[in-house]
Structure 1
Amino acid sequence: MFEELKNIIATVLEDDSIRETITLESDLINEVGLDSLQMISFILGVEDAFGVEIVYEDLDLACFRSIDAFMAFLNGMNKEVG
């Protein structure tokens, strides 16, 4: 999941080198630098890659404070669905 998220971020930012600097602790907003439009592209990419539908109302800022937090959010979604 982590590698796929890095690929999605690199695609959204149009920067392949970002894959090398992203860690599980990377803040998607403050460190990675996703702006609001890029965030939407990121979420759409996640939906496509993982075959999920993210309810925007379920997202909060804490989900984007680290890749690990976002993965926990996705894993929680899967448990609710499954």
Structure 2
Amino acid sequence: MNEMKTDTIETIKRVLAEVRKNPDLAAAMTPSTDIVNDIGLDSLQMITFILSLEDAFSLEIDFETFDFDHLASIAKLSDYIAGRMKEHV
């Protein structure tokens, strides 16, 4: 895994742990962790998570291209974010 992808995954894990207010959660997550089913964010936490991702990566989530499937794993979300970042370079 390249350094940028690793950094993106670590940032996603950190943001999830912050949203869940559980600092130990980041260490328990892997790239295959399912954000919806394994982390279990409620609707308000999900909104906070998406807004926090936008801040952390200085990008805007495009809900025309964002799909529920992007939350199937941290790795899939990382790939989506990497693609969005390339579009803004």
Task: Write the distance in 2 (CA, Å) between the matches of 1:4 and 1:81.
Answer: 19
TM-score, normalising length: structure 2: 0.84
Residue 17 of structure 2: aligned partner = 10
Residue 26 of structure 1: aligned partner = 33
Task: Write the distance in 2 (CA, Å) between the matches of 1:59 and 1:77.
Answer: 10
- For these two proteins, the number of residue pairs brought into alignment is 82
Structure 2 counterpart of 1:80, from 58, 68, 87: 87
Residue segments in structure 2 that go unaligned for 5+ positions in a row: 1-7
Given residue 76 of structure 1, which amino acid in structure 2 is its aligned partner? G
3-state SS of the aligned residue for 2:35? coil
TM-score, normalising length: structure 1: 0.91
Give the CA deviation at 1:56: 2.0
Residues 2-61 of structure 1: CA deviation (Å, up to 9, x unaligned): 111111101100111111211000000000111221111111111111110112232111
Give the CA deviation at 1:79: 2.2
Residue segments in structure 1 that go unaligned for 5+ positions in a row: none
Given residue 34 of structure 2, which amino acid in structure 1 is its aligned partner? D
Question: Structure 1 segments of 4 or more deviating over 6 A?
Answer: none
Residue 38 of structure 1: aligned partner = 45
Could you tell which deviates more after superposition, 35-44 or 19-28?
A: 35-44
Residue 61 of structure 1: aligned partner = 68
Residue 3 of structure 2: aligned partner = none
Could you tell which deviates more after superposition, 32-41 or 42-51?
A: 32-41
Could you tell which deviates more after superposition, 13-22 or 61-70?
A: 13-22
Task: Write the distance in 2 (CA, Å) between the matches of 1:21 and 1:54.
Answer: 26
Q: Identity across aligned pairs (percent)?
A: 38
